[in-house]
Structure 1
């Protein structure tokens, strides 16, 4: 893992069945989104931890994969998937 990790990401919660990876389509389909900022901590998953707007996520910055996620202190509901994109304007 790089020590020069991005400072922020946007986490989009979308219906699990959504297969489109186009950022605009994901944003339009999102049930909830949050820009999360690097906390400087490493999560239990071993990846950098990001937090903001009720979400805490361990994100692999190289693959943009969410390795762990809490939404308002709870695990993600069944039927939802978390997708990571770089915030608009970044």
Structure 2
């Protein structure tokens, strides 16, 4: 049994946005997705999370996105992905 979180919310925001509080990030987000653990590990070696057109390898300890596809494509320059706990389940 794993103790890794089973769900995260990924917020795609302009790269210049600072901070990590949910309200500020959500207000600046151009896309969000709730992703759930698949039980697999991605090529990065980190757990794979999938949902709402987003596939991500996330380091659950640091909440860092190690690999990301949105609708099958890589993230555009000038954007960053932030991981937060889902606001509601």
Cα distance in 1 between the residues matched to 2:69 and 2:40:
15
Aligned residue pairs, count: 89
Q: Please report how far the alpha carbon of residue 23 of structure 1 lies from its aligned counterpart in structure 2 after TM superposition.
A: 1.3
| 3-state SS of 2:26 partner | helix
Q: CA deviation at 1:8?
A: 0.4
Runs of 4+ in 1 over 2 A off after TM superposition: none
RMSD between aligned residues: 1.3
**What TM-score, normalized to structure 2?**
0.95
Residue ranges of structure 1 left out of the alignment (5+ in a row): none
Gapped runs of 5+ residues in structure 2? none
Q: Could you tell me how far 1:19 is from its partner in structure 2?
A: 1.2
Q: TM-score, normalised by structure 1?
A: 0.94
